[in-house]
Amino acid sequence: MTNKKGMSTRLTNYGDEGFSLFLRKAFIKGMGYTDDALSRPVIGIANTFSGYNACHGNVNDLVESVKRGVMLAGGLPVDFPTISLHESFAHPTSMYLRNLMALDTEEMIRAQPMDAVVLIGGCDKTVPAQLMAAASAGIPAIQLVTGPMLVGSHRGTRVGACTDCRRFWAAYRAGEVDDQEIIEVNDQLVPTVGTCSVMGTASTMACLAEAMGMMLPGSAAAPAVTADRRRIAELTGTEAVRIAAEKVTPALIMTPQAFENAMRVLLALGGSTNAVVHLAAIAGRLGFDLDLEAFDRLGRDTPVLVDLKPSGQHYMEDLHRAGGLAALLRPIRHLLHEDAMTINGRTLGENIDATPEIIDQQVVRPHDNPIYPQGGIAVLRGNLAPNGAIIKQSAAHPELMQHTGRAVVFSSMDDLANRIDDPELDVAPDDVLVLQNIGPKGAPGMPEAGYLPIPKKLASRGVKDMVRISDGRMSGTAAGTVVLHVSPEAAAGGPLALVRNGDLIRLDTRARELTLLVDDAELERRRQSLSPALVTQEALGYRRLFLEEILQAEEGCDFRFSRPPMTQSVPR
């Protein structure tokens, strides 16, 4: 029995290599394979289909197409299941489970024989989890996404998840949409399988995976239900056989230059704030520490050019028609490392050259006519966020970007839910809403509760936006003047825990400052009276592991034990 390739890679150890291979072949032959099939390069396909996950509703079709591509190139495709995460079906929050999916995927790649792996992700946390896993497992890997859903139609206007979900719900809360209409629109917001149709986290991570070179060029934006998506899947399978032969490992693609390219693209997309956390986590797996200040500097000369909701007007299918991600890469190519190698064996610059020039300047603006003159995300510091906080400035209200207001503090999500709509709540439109204890440890899992609702009594008076501050996250599909990822978090003893009702808080986005206008002596006095940090000993199982090992936002909320020693920072 030969031990060259195919099923022989990385033997399970029964103390006898020959017997291990003999046993393995005996079992796999139970599926009807021939020796010829088993002598081919094995391409694993991470299958994330789940009946709970409409964002991955086309995965089985994609698996079929990937398999065709693998076989056309002479390989043997073998799909295997991993955890699938959907945003709405991942209690308490999908971020709590992202690292579990990363561990699952990493260990199943290690456990089973495969020469390369195709990772089929889509919904928000899945692509980050898979790229984290691929970086750690270290075998050749290529990303494929399920692709965005199509837009729906409601009473003559286009609607899509989930920026319009929020818009309609806010209008319903304000009494502008009635019971009948809210039921009607509920049927149209998710009209097909696929990921959210705006520039939320899923679309953002798809674009970043392509920008980093881990996914085929042109593959970020094709909708889930199109023939283009199936062809991309077939080509991905074919490419997987080549990277297996050439041993193109993730570390050869996800270089510091590739991460810098991804950060530029994130800024120019007006992409999801969640991507900052995910990029920190993926980079951390390769020993690169995310430097938030340097990231902010990139933002100063990177304009937002993509006119997609929530920062702009259009949807992912429009971006696909406008040429996909290449339509953005072209006008910002002078800001990119064009010599970065990508998964198809060509450089980013060569891939850009191979795409048509400008197709539609409505969806992706020219460099001199941006949606927003700077990058979509700015990094804030100050005594309220010593280790940083972020704001999606492209989706914030210009009048609130420089603002000082009185704090109205909520100590937890429950406290918020109980009091935000209380007619007696002491709150005015120029106050600052503060939510504590929704950070990585606090909630736990850093839920997307940072987009605090406008108190009902103000919403019904037409107030649409207020400054909101928390140690949590916000959905990539949301918009508003929302400060997120305040670090250290309140539950880890960060200064956010010290804010009291009536304190003055100053947000100065231009100066990148977030300041609690309370003197140090008073803050120290409050610190003394803080109740002790969370007791984790009572938690069991995964929750215990999570609470003990979870890192803060700037370190990607990864588990401490999954990060090797840091060797350099990105971007440089």
Residue 12 beta carbon to ligand FES: minimum distance, rounded to whole angstroms:
35
Q: Which stretch binds ligand FES (CB under 6 A): 192-200, 228-236, 269-277, 363-371?
A: 192-200
From 86, 98, 330, 468, residue interacting with ligand FES (rule: CB under 6 A): 86
Residue count, binding to Mg ion (CB under 5 A): 5
From 115, 124, 554, 555, residue interacting with Mg ion (rule: CB under 5 A): 124
| 164 belongs to the binding site for Mg ion (CB under 5 A) | no
Q: Which residue has the tokens 């709509």?
A: 421
| 195 belongs to the binding site for ligand FES (CB under 6 A) | yes
Secondary structure of residue 391 in the 3-state scheme? strand
| 95 belongs to the binding site for ligand FES (CB under 6 A) | no
193 torsion bin: left (phi>0), alpha (psi -120 to 50), beta (else): beta
d(CA 142, CA 242): 11
> Is the CB of 100 or the CB of 244 nearer to ligand FES?
100
- Choose among 172, 202, 197: nearest CA to 184: 172
Q: How many CB atoms lie within 10 A of CB 247?
A: 11
86 binds, among Mg ion, ligand FES, none (CB under 5 to 8 A by kind): ligand FES
475 binds, among ligand FES, Mg ion, none (CB under 5 to 8 A by kind): Mg ion
Residue 322 beta carbon to ligand FES: minimum distance, rounded to whole angstroms:
20
Q: Which stretch binds ligand FES (CB under 6 A): 181-189, 193-201, 229-237, 416-424?
A: 193-201
Instruction: Report CA-CA distances (Å) from 85 to 3, 492, 562.
Output: 37, 27, 20
Q: Which stretch binds Mg ion (CB under 5 A): 84-92, 275-283, 323-331, 518-526?
A: 84-92
> Is the CB of 318 or the CB of 448 nearer to ligand FES?
448
Q: Which stretch binds Mg ion (CB under 5 A): 60-68, 81-89, 171-179, 540-548?
A: 81-89
| 124 belongs to the binding site for ligand FES (CB under 6 A) | yes
Interface mask (CB under 6 A) for ligand FES, residues 39-58, using x and -? ----------------x---
> Is the CB of 146 or the CB of 201 nearer to Mg ion?
201
Residue 279 beta carbon to ligand FES: minimum distance, rounded to whole angstroms:
18
370 binds, among Mg ion, ligand FES, none (CB under 5 to 8 A by kind): none
Work out the burial of residue 266: count CB atoms within 10 Å of its CB; fewer than 13 is exposed, 13-18 middle, 19 or more buried. buried
d(CA 202, CA 196): 7
Q: Distance between the two ends of the chain, CA-based, in angstroms?
A: 50
389 binds, among ligand FES, Mg ion, none (CB under 5 to 8 A by kind): none
d(CA 238, CA 12): 27
Residue 126 beta carbon to ligand FES: minimum distance, rounded to whole angstroms:
8
Q: How far is CA 212 from the centre of its chain?
A: 14
Q: How many CB atoms lie within 10 A of CB 402?
A: 13
From 123, 305, 443, 514, residue interacting with ligand FES (rule: CB under 6 A): 123
Identify whether the C-beta of residue 141 lies closer than 8 Å to the C-beta of residue 134: yes
Q: Which stretch binds ligand FES (CB under 6 A): 107-115, 196-204, 327-335, 529-537?
A: 196-204
Show contacts of 416-421: CB within 8 Å, 24+ apart.
Answer: 416/449, 416/452, 420/452, 420/453, 420/455, 420/456, 421/453, 421/455, 421/456, 421/457
Got the DSSP string for 393-421?
Answer: GGGS-GGGSEEEEEEEEESSHHHHHHHTT
Structure tokens at 177: 């949409």
Structure tokens at 396: 């914030």
| 551 belongs to the binding site for ligand FES (CB under 6 A) | no
Q: Which stretch binds ligand FES (CB under 6 A): 163-171, 195-203, 214-222, 550-558?
A: 195-203
123 binds, among Mg ion, ligand FES, none (CB under 5 to 8 A by kind): ligand FES
> What letter would DSSP give residue 455?
P
Residue 323 beta carbon to ligand FES: minimum distance, rounded to whole angstroms:
22
Pure H helices in 286-403? 292-300, 316-321, 326-329, 348-353
Pure H helices in 196-343? 201-211, 227-246, 250-253, 256-269, 274-285, 292-300, 316-321, 326-329
From 475, 481, 509, 552, residue interacting with Mg ion (rule: CB under 5 A): 475
| 166 belongs to the binding site for ligand FES (CB under 6 A) | no
Interface mask (CB under 5 A) for Mg ion, residues 165-204, using x and -? -----------------------------------xx---
Identify whether the C-beta of residue 28 lies closer than 8 Å to the C-beta of residue 38: yes
From 87, 239, 318, 471, residue interacting with ligand FES (rule: CB under 6 A): 87
Dihedral of alpha carbons 519, 525, 529, 532, sign: positive
371 binds, among ligand FES, Mg ion, none (CB under 5 to 8 A by kind): none
> What letter would DSSP give residue 29?
G
> Is the CB of 281 or the CB of 408 nearer to ligand FES?
281
195 binds, among Mg ion, ligand FES, none (CB under 5 to 8 A by kind): ligand FES
The residues that touch ligand FES, with contacts defined as CB under 6 A, are 55, 86-87, 123-124, 161-162, 195-196, 200, 202
